[in-house]
Structure 1
Amino acid sequence: MRRNSSPLELEITAAKIRRNVLDICRQRGGYAAQGVALADIAATLYFDELRPDGEGWFKDRFVLSNGHDAIMTYAALAETGHYSLDDLRRINADGSWVDQSPIEGQLGFEMTAGSLGQGPSQSAGLAWALRQQGSDARVYCLFSDGELQEGNTWEGAMFAGHQRLDNLCYIVDNNDMQASGHAADVMGVEPVDAKFEAFGFAARRISGTDVQELMDTFGAARATKDKPFVMICDTRLWDGIDCLQKALPMAHYTAKGAVDWDAGLADINAALAELETQHER
């Protein structure tokens, strides 16, 4: 049974995840802009969509393909209580076990990420194997729009469509930014929805920061039969923290001294306080 969280509760959780991202990345820098932008997806996924297994983890499986977005997972699992912020603040420090790009077997990570484009194929294989085992577990895979430039992504999509893997949901972080600039300038990938539909998917394009729309789309994915589902989530770097979005709108990796972390924390704490006030009314 899913948890039936309210949209406002998930917005509060997303704000806390954004705060955690800044708290972690301010120590040594990191992929903070992406983690902040993905907070609403993370909140909806971990706190409403993924079913608990009754043993302190999740029955459904989440595959993170773009390893540099691990900061999103760390920040979300700090809110679930699976990670401590004290440990996460040592990310990438000498002697720390918290890696910026995670490895298979680390809590919360199904695969070793970092070589882009592998998640869509690995998650399709995982979904197929679970179906063969008679499991009703679902598989969710998050990957970036830049990974749509990788051939392996489309091999996975072709397999998923051919096998009619209706237990598989792809989540595309469509922010039109990668290390070399705008994705549309490096190698255009649009129209994303039409391409996936041609591979046998049901596709829906949504805002990646609208919690209600995310909840509705996850519901549509569960209701879809005989084909996999892809949700193309339009996001912008730093979504949810205006002052950082204005200061560094094209950030890929954010160095420790590149932004005013205190200003960002003040911004998100003010937004969080307003959301909590609404919740108390």
Structure 2
Amino acid sequence: MTDELAEKAYRVRERVLRMGTSPHGAHLGGSLSLAEILTVLYAEVLRVSPADPQHPDRDRFVLSKGHASAALYATLAEHGFLDPAELETYALPGGRLAGHPLRRVPGVEFPTGSLGHGLSLGAGVALAARCTGRDLRAFVLLGDGELQEGSVWEAAMSAGHHRLNNLIAIVDRNKLQITGDTEDTLALEPLADRWRAFGWAVAEVDGHDLSALRETFGALPDPGGRPTVVIAHTVKGRGVPLFEGQKKAHAVQLSPRLYQRALAGLRAGKPT
């Protein structure tokens, strides 16, 4: 099963690179770092179905770091929510696949991209589910640079206070943002302790280790009745040596030559 997941994650990265050839490029670094996280979520964790994407009791997934939409679209295509051919319209006028996800796309719950709001949306969904007796969960995927927004911590404080154990936050901890190292801009560490201080259960995991991700998500929800944050340690640009750990990978428009170089690097590490 892990081999199958590895193949899916590889195809997500392959499609992300292809979307990077659009005239507007794509946020490659933070999309490539999400491949395993999104693959495990959609393959084994989220109770969602492309056959009925609006089922009232579906889990809700919020990509708070909306600029990584290429990874979400690639994952939705991999799991039947989108025709893979539609990915060729990424960020083009008149298409559904905008640079930041919109609700007109099957599987997208909220428009996101203005950083710092996704956790509030997820907390609202989780609280509403409790009030209406619905057995659903809200998953929110945040960037680590996004955690410098005060609104994130307001939502974290509220969720901890209300003990929303049907709320799961996932932090893409790749330690890079558009300005460089996150710790140089506004230090986040000790990150796990910060979440615990707001009443959250904390799990830390290698965000590229499929087995570890499966185990971590499989242990949810927290038996103590608290919301959970999964701090996923990742590498920006993962899988493409040209971009791994590089600030320059934040947003890239791939020329045909650069695309071939990036694709060759990805293929060199393809699962066998």
Q: Same fold (TM over 0.5)?
A: yes
- Please state whether the residue corresponding to 1:78 is helix, strand or coil: helix
Match of 1:40 in 2: 36
Alpha-carbon offset, residue 98 of structure 1: 1.6
Match of 1:85 in 2: 84
Gaps of at least 5 residues in structure 1 are 1-5, 276-281
Counterparts of 2:267 and 2:192, CA distance in 1: 36
Alpha-carbon offset, residue 153 of structure 1: 0.2
Match of 1:215 in 2: 214
Counterparts of 1:249 and 1:207, CA distance in 2: 20
Cα distance, 1:268–1:256 mapped onto 2, change above 3 Å:
closer
Match of 1:150 in 2: 149
Match of 1:171 in 2: 170
- Please state whether the residue corresponding to 2:221 is helix, strand or coil: helix
**Percent identity over paired residues:** 36
Match of 1:252 in 2: 250
Q: Deviations over 1:227-256 (max 9, x none)?
A: 00000111111112224428x554211122
- Please state whether the residue corresponding to 2:39 is helix, strand or coil: helix
Are the aligned partners of 1:209 and 1:235 in contact in 2 as well (CA < 8 Å)? Answer: yes
Gaps of at least 5 residues in structure 2 are none
Counterparts of 1:43 and 1:210, CA distance in 2: 11
Counterparts of 2:157 and 2:107, CA distance in 1: 26
- Please state whether the residue corresponding to 2:26 is helix, strand or coil: coil
Match of 1:269 in 2: 267
Are the aligned partners of 1:238 and 1:249 in contact in 2 as well (CA < 8 Å)? Answer: no
Question: Which deviates the most, 154-163 or 25-34?
Answer: 25-34
TM-score, length-scaled by structure 1:
0.89
Alpha-carbon offset, residue 21 of structure 1: 0.7
Counterpart residue identity of residue 92, structure 1: A
Counterpart residue identity of residue 34, structure 1: G
- Please state whether the residue corresponding to 2:103 is helix, strand or coil: coil
Match of 1:18 in 2: 13
> What is the aligned length?
268
Counterparts of 2:100 and 2:85, CA distance in 1: 18
Match of 1:279 in 2: none
TM-score, length-scaled by structure 2:
0.91
Counterparts of 2:37 and 2:220, CA distance in 1: 14
Are the aligned partners of 2:19 and 2:90 in contact in 1 as well (CA < 8 Å)? Answer: yes
Are the aligned partners of 2:89 and 2:97 in contact in 1 as well (CA < 8 Å)? Answer: yes
Counterparts of 1:52 and 1:95, CA distance in 2: 27
Q: Map residues 44-123 of structure 1 onto 2, 5 A cutoff.
A: 44-52=40-48, 55-57=51-53, 59-123=58-122
Are the aligned partners of 2:148 and 2:188 in contact in 1 as well (CA < 8 Å)? Answer: yes
Measured on the aligned residues, the alpha-carbon RMSD in Å equals 2.0
